[in-house]
Chain A
Amino acid sequence: MVTGTHPNEIELFDYVEGDVTGDRRAQLEAHLASCAECAEHVARVTAGRESLRAAQFLQLPPRRREAIFLNLPEQRRGAARSPAMSPKRLLAVLTPIAAVIAVVVALVSTTGNGNPGGEAAATSAGGGTTGGTAMKESAPADQSAKGYSALLVAGSADQVAAELRQKGFDARVVGKRVEVRNATRAQVERALANRRSGGVRIVIVK
C-alpha cells in the first residue's frame, strides 16, 4: 500500500511516465489525492518534462559539418583492411604490369623475327600507348579511393556544376552534391570566389 507511506521516486517517475497501470496506479492516485507533498512533487516533475520536451532541436552549422570531412584523417591507424582488392584497384595494379609485359613480348618477338624496327615494333609501341592511356585513366580512380575534401557554396548543385564546367573543370552533380575531379581545392575556391558560403556541397575527388 502507498497511502500510508510515501511512494519512492522511481514509483512516482513510472507513474508520471504512464508505466504504472491497474491497481497499482489506483493506489498511487489515492495517495496523491491525500498527500500534498507527493502531489506537488509529481506536478513539478511533469512540468519539468514539458519544458524539456518543448526544447528545440539544434542544427549543426554547415561549416562545422564541412570541417569534419576536411579534418578526417586519410588513413586510419589499425583500420580494418578490405577483405579483397576492389576491381578498380586490381585493374590499376594489373594494367601497368600488362603494359610492361606487352612491351617485353613485342621486343622479344621483334628480335626473334630479325625485323629491325619494322611494323612489329610500331604495333608494340601502339600497345604501349594503349597501356599508358589505361594507366592515366586508372590513376584518378585509384586516388579517389584515398579520400576527398569538400566545401560549401550558395546556389543550386546544377548551377554550381555548370559554372565550374564553364570554367574548364570536370564537374558533375552527384545526388545533392557536386563532384570535381582533377582539380585542387584552391583552384575550385578561386573559381567560385564570387559565391557565398551556402548549402551546395562540393566534393573534390583527389
Chain B
Amino acid sequence: MGVRLGRLKLANPVLVASGTFGYIRELAAYVPLDRLGGLIPKTITPRPRAGNPTPRTVETPCGLLNAIGLDNDGIDHFIAHHLPYLRTIRTAVIANIAGEDEDQFVAMAERLSAEPGLAALELNISCPNVTHGLDLGVDPTIVRRLVGRVRRASDLPIIAKLTPNVTDVTVIAAAAAEGGADAVSLVNTFKGMAVDWRRRRPILANDIGGLSGPAIKPLALRMVWEVQRALPNLPIIGIGGIWTADDAMEFLVAGASAIQVGTATFADPGAAGRLLEQLPAKIAELHVSRVSDLVGTLRSNREPDPVPPSVEPSRRIS
C-alpha cells in the first residue's frame, strides 16, 4: 500500500485533510492514527488568528459550507504545544502552513524545517476565507515563485494545496511543478454561499465560504483527471468528498497517488480508519499489487480498450 510522491514516501495513500482533523489529538479516540498514511493538522499561520465570527459553517445538500477563517494559535504555539504530541505518532505528519505573503511562507518553512518530526509541508495557498490566501493561489507567476522560494528554504518535501476557484487548474498545477513542488493537493473548497431569504442575509457571518463534502466530489475528480492528463509526472493528492474506499479508488484511478479524507470526518469521525481498512480489498479487485499500478489508469471513453492480457497458458518458446 506504500506510495511515493516526489521525495515523500507514505506507508499508504490515506491521509486526512487539514482543517478537518483538528490538531489530530481530537481524533485519537476514533481513528488508529499511526495506521494512516499521513496526518495533516489544521493550518498554522505566523501569528495567532481569531478567525471569522460565527456562524462559521452551514450544511448544504450533501455538503458543508465553511468560513472558519484559519482560527489558530500561531506557529509558536504549534511548535511548543502540538508538535511534541505529533512526534509521538508513528506516521507521516505534514504541517499545513499559510502566510499572508511569500516572505511569511518562507519564514514558516525555515522554522518548521529546523524542527524534527515533520515529513513534509503543505502550502495552503487556497483558503477562500482569508484576504490573501486565494490571491496567491490563483496567479501562476506567484505560485511558481512562492513554491520555488519555499523549496529552497526547506529540505522537506513540498506539497502545494491548490484552489479549484480558477478557470484552468492545470495552469496553476504546472506553475507549482515548475517551482519544484513534490506534489499538489487537489482540491481545496469551492467558493459558495447560503442565503436566508427571509432575513435577506447570507447565513455565514463571512457572507461567503468554501464548499466541501460529497457535493463536490465530481468537480474534484474532474480536476484531478485534468491535471493528471496535463502533467503526468506531477504526483497528485486527491481531495473532495471522499468518504468510502470506493471514493478513494475513483480518485486513484483518475490520477491521484494518495487521497485525503476531509469533511467525511465531521459526519463520521471513524471514516478515515474505515476507508483504510476497506481499501486493500478494493485494490485487489483490480488485480494489482501496488497502489502505483492503478494510479492514473482511468481511460477516456474516447480511447480504445487496452489489448487484453493473454489468457492462454504461456508456452515454452525454446
A binds B: no
